[in-house]
Structure 1
Amino acid sequence: MAAGGKEGRAAAEPEAAVVEEPRSFKDLGVTDVLCEACDQLGWKMPTKIQVEAIPVALQGRDIIGLAETGSGKTGAFALPILQALLETPQRLFALVLTPTRELAFQISEQFEALGSSIGVHSTVIVGGIDTMSQSLALAKKPHVIIATPGRLVDHLENTKGFNLRALKFLVMDEADRILNMDFETEVDKILKVIPRDRKTFLFSATMTKKVQKLQRAALKNPVKCAVSSKYQTVEKLQQYYIFIPSKFKDSYLVYILNELAGNSFMIFCSTCNNTQRTALLLRNLGFTAIPLHGQMSQNKRLGSLNKFKAKARSILLATDVASRGLDIPHVDVVINFDIPTHSKDYIHRVGRTARAGRSGKSITFVTQYDVELFQRIEHLIGKKLPAFPMQEEEVMMLTERVAEAQRLARMELREQGEKKRSRNDDDDTEEAIGVRNKVAGGKKKKRKAF
């Protein structure tokens, strides 16, 4: 990582924040107009990370925030930025970098909601959306830009007149995940073109070596605000596992959805294909299930998320694109249909339920191939999970209906694949015709010239 100077490198071990327990946002030093905005959002009391980070940020210090998912991190950086913006109004004031598109939209919603009474404008700059409309939004110079690193670098390099030379705040949210997704080069490019004289907030669930390196490059004498030093899951979360033969996974899933009917579910699968297949399977059995994965267009992804948030659908099937950051208040049950390969992802997945003091359930499917991965998860969270009570005979009674739904889902997947291929072939044909016409046109011109 480049940039940062001697001061940044010297601060290898940031000092920790020491704050007494305040009772309200006003006690933290948040101005009245923003306290009212918090109240309208239903934020009655600041969370632990907000208690630690906000007073330090209001003093103008750089921050490293270590906090688990669902801890109120967005408020911890949004409120100090909005307060600073009130004091010195300026366009292109703050940049928030996030690893995923969905998280970017969610952060933007919170900035807009908190800043609505003071006229704050934010713009989301992510992949999967037309660059021209984004260029027009950037030309209007919003106060806050929320972006994924790749698309932001595209605009910095290619959008005429756009730069971040006046930027006052940089936030890197989910920094560990930004770096795990190999955005290091992009982050490096961004650090080189923004002012060194700025405030930087780095938030991460884990302090990896890459995050430490980024901290040294990007932050000056930061204060460390840590609210959870070890991996843990929320107390009000009831965690279970079920040990099942791999070939009956679908039947067990249907059994659990029937047993816990009336709840809202997030079901995590390991691949885009399995997410799509399982969604089709459940639909064929009459469940209101929708998928969310990386091979869907951005509009479809947001559509799925909004339907689930609005409770128009009760089951959201997702890859790990949805395991972190997304705040969906009403998830009652998380099912790990495919066990996560990385134990830490388990924490983030089950963190989708039992949020903000509510209770919730998580059930992890363990097949004969997953035993070692499951033992690693138990070791990480420091507890042995109980088995979810099951009636095997009732599960076996479902196998015939499930087999028929599997057959239909496979056919639908095949049809979807063929449609996609034919669309791609059409695009290739059009491109080839375009190239041929250009070449032919060129040849005609040459003959004329001679």
Structure 2
Amino acid sequence: LQTKLKISKPTKIQKLAIPRILKPDQKNVFIHSKTGSGKTLTYLLPIYQTILQNCQTTGRKAGCTAIIITPTRELSTQLQNIINNSLNIGPSVQAVVLIGGEKKQSEKKRLRKGFNILIGTPGRLLDHFKTTASVKEYIQQGSLKYLVLDEGDRLMELGFQKDLKEIFKIVKDEMCHGDDKAIKKVLCSATTGKDGKLGEFINLKDYQMITANNNDDDDNALDTATSNIAEGLEQDCVIVPPKLRLVTLASVINNTTLEHFESVDQDGNVILRTMVFLSCSDSVDFHYNIFSSCSGNKYINRIDETISETKMGSTVFPSLIDESCRDMPYVFYKLHGSLTQNLRTKTLAHFGSNKKVIGKASSKVKKHLVMFCTDVASRGLDLPHITKVIEYDPPFTLEDHIHRVGRTARLTNQTDNVKGEATIFLLPGEEEGYLTLLNQLHKDKIVTKTYESILKKAFSSKDIKRNDYDSNSERKGKGSKSKESSWDSNVTTWHMNVERAILEKEDLKRAATNGFISHIRAYTTHIAKEKKFFNVKFIHLGHLCKAFGLREKPKQLSYSDYKRGNKLKNMTNKNKMFEMARMAMKDAASEFQY
């Protein structure tokens, strides 16, 4: 642990939970702790201890000691990498991952070679339990001791109760011959689910909840307190009119570069990482495309379908024409559930990689990596050195907010004395009331910033040129631009450049229209108790379309794109709203593609 993972002492939740999990008479445990507090090692280390103690012969053929169930493919893959690579601290312990998007025949080949730990999403695990003989072969050796449910609140939200009950039944009846008393069930989550009944939903009976209470100095204290936000997190909020959302987002990203461009790591590199959370995949596609293409294709290097890097000459951010940090390019990423599994894996690997992957090994690296993503990237992923989390679209629940901001100020960052930063965007009016709920989580520590101060910091130093000027700085058919512009004039020019780019390129216009429509549909799906803050009736759609670079609201909400035909033409406005909500919920479920 000290040499490979650089861990010299356990975290508080590890001190509390690991001895409890290892106790022979302890059956079921609910590990409840904030994001980034070390929950993964809390259950992995007891599994390793059990493997080393109970197995006279180690290796693949020793049998399966643990089954770990996760809600997303990315989390499953991350766990496999931790076990097979980072945590390979003793005799060979092999994990096999079973997830959708992979060929079943390839998974069956890996299963036949043997495994010590089985990881997967509920649907694919259940499929193999029913159809693959080698799974039962290695589990029926009597070696199974642990059944772990990671990110249990997300398993609940996605409606996996039926699959989990069926998995429990197969494990008990077919793999343990009707007696599963020797198996310890471990549930991990940063929240306690709806009404605090996550344990009951998962069908976890007679469990003990173990919580690290930050307000108690007694390391042996056990508590069932509600979730806490990471102590190293600096959370702020900006109230932005809908017309200025896009340019303010660009300003927050730009200002992150200005504030941290001298943050050199131990290798002498400056690698900043920002995650921008959006409500739907179409909105992710639009924002990725517009920031990649706004300055023109000659100023962008497209590394992959989901990865693009700015070249010298790009003006998508004011920092790129600032003398102090103009040599610090941006790399843009997009991640959502509609991408293929291969693309999702490659994108995450590139975003979390070191200088040998994203730069030249012979020189120091200075880059700002910006990922536009949906909530598919908010759960359990332990990405290195996340400098900033931006909630551009508000979370659908407070639990989502906890997991989003939990991508920064994590354990690895705190050991390096790096604090995490998070910014949430809200609209003026009813949405401002949401701050009351957020402040209860953050203990009234949220700092409210004005959008004017953010825009002024980003656009005061340099003059933004219009993109309808030619190489001699003369506008087509007009005279030249001579005088230096003020910051508010620069803001207007930047946004007009975006609008002109969208008008000139049909693919960008289509992406903007789809992003706007999907955003409105997703907005209707906020939970009932938060509708007083997030009600589509309170939004000026004509103003909001400017946030997608559109000069006017699309005439129809593109029902035809979803093959609804004439079905909705005669619907009342109320029924159309219900239909929009159903469509958005369907899209949200497909984000995870089980």
Task: Name the structure 1 match of 2:491.
Answer: 395
2-structure distance, mates of 1:184, 1:361: 35
Q: Is residue 156 of structure 1 aligned with residue 129 of structure 2? A: yes
1-structure distance, mates of 2:431, 2:344: 29
Task: Name the structure 2 match of 1:302.
Answer: 345
2-structure distance, mates of 1:179, 1:328: 24
Q: Is residue 367 of structure 1 aligned with residue 376 of structure 2? A: no
**1:51 Cα deviation (Å)?**
0.7
Q: Is residue 232 of structure 1 aligned with residue 228 of structure 2? A: yes
Q: Is residue 52 of structure 1 aligned with residue 16 of structure 2? A: yes
Task: Name the structure 2 match of 1:315.
Answer: 370
Give the counterpart of 2:249 among 248, 253, 259.
Answer: 253
2-structure distance, mates of 1:417, 1:127: 30
Q: Which amino acid aligns with 1:353?
A: T
Residues 176, 204 of structure 1: 8 Å contact kept? yes
**1:310 Cα deviation (Å)?**
1.2
Task: Name the structure 1 match of 2:167.
Answer: 190
Q: Is residue 179 of structure 1 aligned with residue 156 of structure 2? A: yes
Task: Name the structure 2 match of 1:411.
Answer: 507
The C-alpha deviation readout for 1:356-402, integer Å capped at 9, x for no partner, is 21202111111236334444323443316223342352533421223
2-structure distance, mates of 1:332, 1:319: 18
Give the counterpart of 2:190 among 165, 186, 205.
Answer: 205
Q: Is residue 354 of structure 1 aligned with residue 350 of structure 2? A: no
2-structure distance, mates of 1:270, 1:247: 18
Q: Which amino acid aligns with 2:46?
A: P
Unaligned runs of 5+ in 2: 56-61, 214-224, 262-271, 295-309, 311-329, 359-367, 457-487, 515-594
**1:231 Cα deviation (Å)?**
3.2
**Change over 3 Å in CA distance of 1:280–1:304 after alignment to 2:** same
**Change over 3 Å in CA distance of 1:361–1:408 after alignment to 2:** farther
Task: Name the structure 1 match of 2:269.
Answer: none
Task: Name the structure 1 match of 2:83.
Answer: 111
**Change over 3 Å in CA distance of 1:410–1:300 after alignment to 2:** farther
**Change over 3 Å in CA distance of 1:339–1:329 after alignment to 2:** same
Task: Name the structure 2 match of 1:386.
Answer: 447
Q: Is residue 342 of structure 1 aligned with residue 306 of structure 2? A: no
Higher relative helix content: 1
2-structure distance, mates of 1:224, 1:134: 35
The C-alpha deviation readout for 1:263-321, integer Å capped at 9, x for no partner, is 32110001011011111111124442101111011111111111110153601111111
Root mean square deviation of aligned Cα = 2.4
The C-alpha deviation readout for 1:223-248, integer Å capped at 9, x for no partner, is 33111423332232221111111122
Aligned residues: 380
**1:161 Cα deviation (Å)?**
4.1
Task: Name the structure 1 match of 2:522.
Answer: none
TM-score (norm 1): 0.79
**Change over 3 Å in CA distance of 1:409–1:136 after alignment to 2:** farther
Q: How many percent of aligned residue pairs carry the same amino acid?
A: 30
